[in-house]
Structure 1
Amino acid sequence: MKQSILSSVVLGVLAWWGGLSVIAEDRYLYFTWEITNGTIYPLGFPQPGILINGQFPGPTIEAITNDNIVVNVINKLEEKFLITWSGIKQRRTSWEDGVLGTNCPIPPNSNWTYKFQVKDQVGTYTYFPSTKIHKAGGGFGGFNVAQRSVISIPYPEPDAEFTLLIGDWYKTDHRVLRRLLDIGKSLPNPDSLLINGQQNGAVFSGLAGKTYKLRVSNVGLSTSFNFRIQGHDLKLIEVEGAHTIMESYNSLDVHVGQSVTVLVTLHGPTSDYAIIASTRFTGPSVLTSTATLRYAGSNTKAPIPLPQGPPTNDVQWSMEQARSIRLNLTANAARPNPQGSFHYGTIPVVRTLLLANSKAIIDGKLRYAVNGISHVNPNTPLKLADWFNIPGVFDLHTIKDVPPSSPTLAKLGTSVIGFTLHDFAEIVFQNNENYIQSWHMDGSSFYVVGYDNGLWTPDARKTYNLIDGVTRHTVQVYPNSWSAILVSLDNKGMWNLRSAIWERRYLGEELYLRVWNNEQSVYTEALVPPNELYCGKAKHLPKS
């Protein structure tokens, strides 16, 4: 009898503890995505596209801070495929990053399941294919992370929200575009801009007097755009997970790979109003796409003429606007503590990288390089080679911290720069070309502390914003200019630092940051996932 009572008590305690574990664990969201070829009509005529569950663009993920995301990707294409999660930090697990430096691509007619957590994140993000030039065919979508109900938001609660995916588009098959790059030719100029997969025609409806949140992302391959809404101000509230000082703008520049979130109040007469996106820094050729903001009950088309954006090549206008976007120091983000509680401007920099992009011809073909090295992805993912100590895949001496002091011919190489976990680094992107650049970092957000024309020098540090620079994961670098960031590398792993402009990235303008220490602990880095794909020199290794 006593043994029976004791067993009941033990079982009861175990059940109670198990119940606590279930309650304490964060929510799981499960998705099954089938990737297929299909026919799409973004420009009004049929063209081949890449669909997710039959959709173009792909489905939007709507998550909440700390949700666990599980996505089973079934690849029905005839080519290998990967998806990367732009701006999602994936704490302690670059295993799920979905780029060729960290993952073997998913073979045709097979599947692979991503599993990661949006730990301590909030904001507007995207996902897209990282392989080949698949992004030119589709496969991209929105990834929104809302705040937990226990955390207040630093702006009035909107009545609803809309996701706007805007980017340049080609009428040419993405496979044809890839062949152009493979034979050493540059891509042509894009043919149009799309808003949610349409050149013109997307409609967003609302009620007069209500306020709406618009999540706007540049999902294009190469082109910055200016975004505006006829007769309405855009109140900026967030960029890529950082709450900003709530300034109102007539229009906003959004560069390749970037996301912004604005509030728009429907304060005008009942009517239709034009939502306009037009290309920036493209010379005299300007592409424009429109959508409609429709007040409920409207029978009136948007008035003409449509409002114009800034002069298309006005770099100074864009740079001044970028400097005006600042961090809201007293607001919280995903956590209750104020964003300004991390005093980044007082932290000593332990290492400076000066990275200069360049165009090159190597072996008779067009390439792009960083500090004289045009990156080539080895057949063995860098992360697998690092984890299993596989020799001959990469070393930490191929690419230097600073560009060559004198002009030199670029060469092919595998670019990996080593850091120690928790290093605080200064990275300067020097652009000596006449074209705007856009740089993205996986695994970490960084503080944008400076932009300016010309060559960067150490004296430029006197101009840095060390108080309320905004955090982002993608920064633009204007023509013949530089941009500077500060970043705390506190996420262990192998992380991609790349051009967000696809031609440049595909042809070598990227590198990897190896953030490492010799502590073997799941508290600093997750173990290799049991479903990890193995390829290259790791193909025959026993799975964990």
Structure 2
Amino acid sequence: MSFFGLHFYCFVGICLMMFCGFCSGADPFAHFDLEFSYVTASPLGVPQQVIAVNRNFPGPTLNVTTNYNVVVNVKNNLDESLLLTWPGIEMRRGSWQDGVLGTNCPIPAHWNWTYQFQVKDQIGSYYYVPSINFQRAAGGFGGFIITNRKVIPLPFNTPDGDIVITIGDWYTQDHKDLRASLDAGKELGMPDGALINGKGPFKYNSSVPDGIEHETINVDPGKTYRIRVINVGVSTCLNFRIQSHNLLLAEAEGHYTSQQNYSSLDIHVGQSYSFLVTMDQNASSDYYIVASARFVNQSAEWQRVTGVAILHYSNSKGRASGPLPDPPNDGNDNSFAVNQAMSIRMNNTASGARPNPQGSFRYGSINVTDVYVLRNVPPITIDGKLRATYNGISFMNPNTPVGLADNYKLKGSYKLDFPNTPMNRPPTMDRSLINATYKGFVEIVLENNDTVVQSFHMDGYSFFVVGMAYGEWTENSRGSYNRWDAIARSTTQVFPGGWTAILVYLDNVGVWNLRTVNLDRWYLGQETYMRIIDAEDDDQKAEDAPPDNVLFCGALAHFQKPQRFSSASLSIQESLKLNVMIMVFAVIYMML
């Protein structure tokens, strides 16, 4: 063999070893391609434009395992900008992949962009969803499931199957028309219905029009399924139930719960749960799966906001018939909903993503370093515009995302003066952030002075839901806190005329969004951000630098290069192979 040939084969061998090393590292890669586009669908019998993912509505479920590196190539085939967010995913060392306007520039129409993040120390049921332009009201969402590593046991017998169900209220108006109504100072009004897995209700009575396609969940008798239910709707809490079947609650947004049976459970906007459901009924007929509106007046009009799917046993002998199973009868009992919410407790004996018990973090014995009270009121007019607020501030997203502004020493993009408590002053629109302390253990009290039940979400973290009640929160309310086994989650409900208290340890640097998940209130400015930096400048804990493919906008828009070719069209394996080939051909060229 010639000298050149020997060296060439040695070089190729080295390249192949490098390639194999990339592919077989300790933390594997999971790669997904998601194309967002418009399609015509008729989920409630009315043709309308919806946002599909890979031509499907809802989009595909993404399945990964704890510690996986997730690469999601997004192709935006919409006619407007897009951002994708991942509620509940606790991205570490920065919020560059969080997918909200305060941290990321939007993906322009007809562009590709690649998200890459690691799902460290997490398990559970999550979802992805558009975060801007009111697009969530048109779709673009799907499940995101993180399974435990095989070396970590489940706190229950391995189910015979895994089923993801998305539920949500739905409008037949185009999402652009809905946001135009809000821009014009109008309320959205009542939804036109509720969907289950993107489909309308089964014709359970004459009020349901003919020709609507419904969802069917196929099961086998005697088997137990893990049914993951996610409320991806606009603003309506939905009560979920399955006719004649118990719902054994097992997980809430990435944390195993004490297992207890429910006949039905309220699932608020943005929340997700896992139930273990055993198919222990006879198969004389199919069974109803129901998601119906809660905390609304019980007029006949609101009855239409009911999603109905079918649970079909493989040996079923007939169609489901008769009335739907009843929702909770608590019209005059405010305590029922609060007690149900607070009955959801952490399973302190279960391991999560790591082999140590989740309950080893004794949050109840840690001293609180900071207290924030966030109060909202019904939308009000500020400078001639209908706006929603926290503490009298309606948030305006900065033209340049906060992280980019910091990285490029850009002054004046935002302010760190968000008030810790409600202020006695006229409401205003502002770019005001919370200047939080890294490794602080904070208490956040959420006061809902609006007329509708709301969901509150915090990006980048799970928090402990320690208290909840109707009425006014006072210092004495802390005596009712659950300081032992409160559920940890990323989204909690706050009842109108009531409060919810959460505790959270701020160990994740970045700029993290705090918002109402109710899409109309969020769109109108009911949000802020918590800026958390490591003051010690520890490289192991500091926020990562911007990714190589970071998008620029605002005052930094001149840095953005036109997109000519995007790695989004290639899988991660194809990209690595292409890089190896380029290296090989470069060496051949130099040696010739």
Instruction: Give the superposed CA RMSD.
Output: 2.0
Q: Distance in 2 between matches of 1:48 and 1:403?
A: 41
The one-letter code matched in structure 2 to 1:355 is L
Q: Distance in 2 between matches of 1:310 and 1:150?
A: 40
Q: Which has the larger radius of gyration?
A: 2
CA offsets 1:445-503 (integer angstroms, 9 cap, x no match): 00000001111111111110000000010010011000000001111000000010011
Partner of 1:136: 137
Partner of 2:95: 94
Change (3 A) 1:12 1:394: same
Q: Distance in 2 between matches of 1:199 and 1:455?
A: 39
Structure-to-structure mapping, 1:251-330, within 5 angstroms: 251-270=264-283, 271-284=285-298, 285-286=302-303, 287-311=305-329, 313=331, 314-330=333-349
1:364 aligns with 2:378: no
Moved more, 378-387 or 303-312: 303-312
The one-letter code matched in structure 2 to 1:396 is L
Number of residue pairs matched? 533
CA offsets 1:16-63 (integer angstroms, 9 cap, x no match): 899777544312111222211111121123111111111110111011
Q: Distance in 2 between matches of 1:99 and 1:15?
A: 39
Structure-to-structure mapping, 1:15-414, within 5 angstroms: 23-200=24-201, 201-270=214-283, 271-284=285-298, 285-286=302-303, 287-311=305-329, 313=331, 314-358=333-377, 359-397=379-417, 399-404=418-423, 406=424, 408-414=425-431
Q: Distance in 2 between matches of 1:421 and 1:478?
A: 30
Contact 1:283 1:312 in 2 (8 A): no
| Paired residue secondary structure (1:370) | coil
Q: Distance in 1 between matches of 2:20 and 2:142?
A: 36
Structure 2 runs not aligned, ≥5 long: 1-8, 202-213, 562-592
Contact 1:433 1:479 in 2 (8 A): yes
The one-letter code matched in structure 1 to 2:180 is R
The one-letter code matched in structure 2 to 1:393 is S
Partner of 1:438: 455
Q: Distance in 2 between matches of 1:15 and 1:142?
A: 35
Structure-to-structure mapping, 1:452-491, within 5 angstroms: 452-491=469-508
Match of 1:532 among 550, 560, 574: 550
Contact 1:328 1:468 in 2 (8 A): yes
CA offsets 1:180-229 (integer angstroms, 9 cap, x no match): 11122111211100000011221111111100010001000100011011
Moved more, 22-31 or 438-447: 22-31
Q: Distance in 1 between matches of 2:187 and 2:385?
A: 10
Contact 1:418 1:516 in 2 (8 A): no
- Compute the TM-score of the two structures, normalised by the length of structure 2: 0.87
Moved more, 534-543 or 437-446: 534-543
CA offsets 1:297-319 (integer angstroms, 9 cap, x no match): 21212242221011374532111
CA offsets 1:84-132 (integer angstroms, 9 cap, x no match): 0111111113000000001000111111110011111100001100011
Contact 1:437 1:476 in 2 (8 A): yes
Q: Distance in 2 between matches of 1:102 and 1:18?
A: 33
Change (3 A) 1:14 1:193: closer
Partner of 2:574: none
Q: Distance in 1 between matches of 2:110 and 2:86?
A: 22
Q: Distance in 2 between matches of 1:222 and 1:40?
A: 21
Q: Distance in 1 between matches of 2:390 and 2:172?
A: 30
The one-letter code matched in structure 2 to 1:280 is R
Q: Distance in 2 between matches of 1:392 and 1:527?
A: 21
Q: Distance in 1 between matches of 2:66 and 2:84?
A: 21
| Paired residue secondary structure (1:95) | coil
| Paired residue secondary structure (1:294) | strand
| Paired residue secondary structure (2:403) | helix
Q: Distance in 1 between matches of 2:96 and 2:358?
A: 28
1:418 aligns with 2:435: yes
Q: Alignment identity in percent? A: 48
- Displacement of 1:12: 10
The one-letter code matched in structure 1 to 2:327 is G
Q: Distance in 2 between matches of 1:17 and 1:470?
A: 44
Q: Distance in 1 between matches of 2:30 and 2:238?
A: 33
1:516 aligns with 2:533: yes
Partner of 2:585: none
| Paired residue secondary structure (2:215) | strand
The one-letter code matched in structure 2 to 1:372 is G
Contact 2:221 2:315 in 1 (8 A): no
Q: Distance in 2 between matches of 1:455 and 1:34?
A: 46
Contact 1:280 1:312 in 2 (8 A): no
Q: Distance in 2 between matches of 1:40 and 1:17?
A: 47
Partner of 2:515: 498
The one-letter code matched in structure 2 to 1:376 is M
Structure 1 runs not aligned, ≥5 long: 1-7
Q: Distance in 1 between matches of 2:254 and 2:490?
A: 9
Contact 2:533 2:542 in 1 (8 A): no
Change (3 A) 1:206 1:175: same
Contact 1:441 1:473 in 2 (8 A): yes
Contact 1:279 1:312 in 2 (8 A): no
Q: Distance in 1 between matches of 2:142 and 2:20?
A: 36
Q: Distance in 1 between matches of 2:294 and 2:522?
A: 20
CA offsets 1:278-324 (integer angstroms, 9 cap, x no match): 10011122321111111112121224222101137453211110111
Q: Distance in 1 between matches of 2:51 and 2:504?
A: 35
- Displacement of 1:525: 2.1
The one-letter code matched in structure 2 to 1:216 is V
- Compute the TM-score of the two structures, normalised by the length of structure 1: 0.94
Q: Distance in 2 between matches of 1:441 and 1:531?
A: 25
Partner of 1:3: none
